[in-house]
Amino acid sequence: DIQMTQSPSSLSASVGDRVTITCRASQSIDNYLNWYQQKPGKAPKLLIYAASSLQSGVPSRFSGSGYGTDFTLTISSLQPEDFATYYCQQTYNTPPWTFGQGTKVELK
Amino acid sequence: QVQLQESGPGLVKPSETLSLTCTVSGGSISGFYWSWIRQPAGKGLEWIGRIYTSGSTNYNPSLKSRVTMSVDTSKNQFSLELNSVTAADTAVYYCARQLTATTQPIDYWGQGTLVTVSS
């Protein structure tokens, strides 16, 4: 299985901060990388697909980049509704489609 | 707006079979992959498997020997069976729609249903 490692596991930030989360794959996955946001008690929500494509309806302060093994999710100016846990997921080649362990973004 | 709703028992005894159904509304079930993902309390997400509307399946190898998925296009439903459950299978189970194009992201999720394995 392809292992996905996110860093950091958690971070504290303030409203208006620029936040960057990284995701590293154990082997090259081209751009087969998706990002999700999950709030407590809720299902995950798709933010970014194909490493850098913004899902319809998602605010433009969210962006993704990367190719191969290293990827980043950036929130350009953190808003109160962005405090959540973020997961990357690879969908390269054959299943299983594995997720990172998650990054919890908390209020400083 | 596509909506997914999981249904099934919230409590399953050890060694028995966990059975869940997902009902899709607001759109056709045809032409998409339909997935199951689970999340133990306080932990991350685990992809269980998916089924296409033709009935073809892909399962997580770690669960493959215990998992069966099926689809009923006439009812706009798909189902999960996980047999020989143990306490380690206790989790919130999500059904979801996985696109067939690009990087096959999961764009719609059910609200999730908690299944507890306990005697």
The pLDDT value recorded for residue A94 is: 84
* Closest approach of B119 to chain A, Cα-based (Å): 25
* Closest approach of A16 to chain B, Cα-based (Å): 27
Asked whether residue B101 carries a pLDDT value surpassing 90, the answer given is no
Residue pLDDT, tens place only, B12-42: 999 999 999 999 999 999 999 999 999 999 9
The pLDDT value recorded for residue A23 is: 98
Please report the DSSP string for A6-75 in residue order. Answer: EE-SEEEE-TT--EEEEEEESS--TT-EEEEEE-TTS--EEEEETTTEEPTT--TTEEEEEETTEEEEEE
Tokens of A6: 């996110």
The pLDDT value recorded for residue B58 is: 95
CA dihedral for B81, B83, B88, B90, sign (positive or negative)? positive
Asked whether residue B102 carries a pLDDT value surpassing 90, the answer given is no
The verdict on A68 touching B (C-beta cutoff 8 Å) is no
The pLDDT value recorded for residue B39 is: 98
Strand boundaries in B40-109, DSSP class E: 46-52, 57-59, 67-72, 77-82, 91-98, 106-109
Average pLDDT value for residue range B91-108: 94
How, if at all, do strands B33-39 and B46-52 pair?
Answer: antiparallel
The pLDDT value recorded for residue B118 is: 97
Average pLDDT value for residue range A42-64: 98
Collapsing DSSP to helix, strand or coil, B89 comes out as helix
Quickly state the pLDDT bin for A95 (edges 50, 70, 90).
confident
Tell me if A96 and B62 make a contact (CB, 8 A cut-off): yes
Asked whether residue A79 carries a pLDDT value surpassing 90, the answer given is yes
Asked whether residue B62 carries a pLDDT value surpassing 90, the answer given is yes
Tell me if A98 and B106 make a contact (CB, 8 A cut-off): no
* Closest approach of A80 to chain B, Cα-based (Å): 22
A16 burial type by CB count under 10 A (0-12 exposed, 13-18 middle, 19+ buried) = exposed
Collapsing DSSP to helix, strand or coil, A82 comes out as helix
A46 burial type by CB count under 10 A (0-12 exposed, 13-18 middle, 19+ buried) = buried
The residue among A90, A86, A89 whose CA lies nearest residue A103 is A86
Asked whether residue B52 carries a pLDDT value surpassing 90, the answer given is yes
Residues with Cβ within 8 Å of residue B101, at least 6 apart in sequence? none
